A = this chain, B = another copy of it.
C-alpha cells in the first residue's frame, strides 16, 4: 500500500476548523485501505507570526519541500493588520507558492445543482456551470521587481509594482490549460489586456503560438480581461477552461467562485512542474479566506477544504478512484440535505463544521 506524507498548514481564522475536517476524512480513508497517509502539522500566516515573528519559518518551508503534498487552510485576519508588509500573513503563502514553484493554480468553479438557488444569478444561468480557471501563480505583478515605496524630496511618496512575464512562464501555464481542455470540453479562453499592457501583448502572442504548434484540436478564444469579467456575469456557461495571469486570475476566479453560490465549497490546487521520477510539488487550499468573523464558532463549511484533499488525491497521488469516492461523498451528503449555515437556504437546518466533516467521512 502506497504511503504519502502530507504537511497540514491550518493557518488562521477558520483554517484550523476546516483542517480538522481533513483529519476526520483521512481517518476514514485509512480504513478503506486505499493508501496510508502520514501527516505533520505546522504554522503559517498569522499563527506563525505569533510564534516566530514571521509568517513562514524556514523549518516550515523545509518541511513543505520534503512533503508529498501540502494542505493549507487560510491565512490572515484583522489581528495582523498592523504588521509590516514583509512579514504580513499573506507573505507566508506567497513565499510557499514562489519558493516551491507552484506556478499553476487550478480553481474549478462548479455550481452544485442542490445549491444553484444560492447563487446571486438566475438559476438557468448557473445550473450546470463547470469552469476551470487556470491562473498563473508565480509571476506577474505579485513578484516582479522593483516593488517598493520611496519617499520623494517633498516628503510625498511614490509606489511601484512591476508586472513581468517571460515567454517560458506563459508557455508552461498555456500547456497546463490546453492539456486540461483536452480532458474536458476542448475549449480554452485566454484573458489579458493586450490593448493596454505589454505583458498582455506577449501573453496573447505566446498562447497563440503554443496553440498553433501543439493543440490545434482545442478551440482557443482570446478575451480582454475586463470583458471577461462582464461575460462571466452575463453568460458564465460560455466558458470551460479560462487561463489568465496572476492578478486577473485573482479577481476573475473570485467572480467565478461567487457565481456558483457556494464559495465555501470550492477547492483549489497549486501545482509545480512535473519532476522526473517523482511527484510534482503541490499545495491544495480552499478558495475562501480565513473568515475571522466566524472563526472558532463551528460554523465554517469544511467542504472546500475536504474538496482540496480530493484534488490532492487526484493530482498528486493519481488516486482518481479515491478522489471520485470523496467527491461522491460530498455530493451525496449535500443531496441528503445536509448543510452548514452558509449554504442552508429556505429554512433548512444547518449543522456545524465538525458534523459536516463526519457526515462526509461516514458517506
Q: Footprint of B on A, CB under 8 Å?
A: 76, 85, 88, 90, 94, 120-122, 125, 141-142, 144, 147-149, 152, 156-168, 193, 195-199, 201-203, 225-227, 229-230, 233-235, 247-248, 250-252, 254-255, 257-259, 263, 289
Q: Closest residue of chain B to A157, judged by CB? A: B167
B163 and A158 contact, CB distance less than 8 A: no
A163 and B166 contact, CB distance less than 8 A: no
A255's contact among B161, B201, B255, by CB below 8 Å, is which? B255
A149 and B198 contact, CB distance less than 8 A: yes
Q: Closest residue of chain B to A125, judged by CB? A: B120
List residues of chain B with CB within 8 A of the CB of A263.
230
B149 and A85 contact, CB distance less than 8 A: no
Q: Closest residue of chain B to A117, judged by CB? A: B122
List residues of chain B with CB within 8 A of the CB of A203.
159
Complex alpha-carbon distance, A257 and B142, angstroms: 27
Q: Closest residue of chain B to A201, judged by CB? A: B85
List residues of chain B with CB within 8 A of the CB of A258.
229-230, 233-234
Complex alpha-carbon distance, A157 and B164, angstroms: 11
B156 and A196 contact, CB distance less than 8 A: no
A156 and B166 contact, CB distance less than 8 A: yes
Q: Closest residue of chain B to A152, judged by CB? A: B166
List residues of chain B with CB within 8 A of the CB of A226.
250-251, 254
Complex alpha-carbon distance, A202 and B157, angstroms: 8
Complex alpha-carbon distance, A198 and B151, angstroms: 13
B163 and A160 contact, CB distance less than 8 A: yes
Q: A227-B254, A254-B227 are in contact. Are A160 and B157 (CB under 8 A)?
A: no
Q: Report the minimal beta-carbon distance from A182 to chain B, rounded to whole angstroms.
A: 25
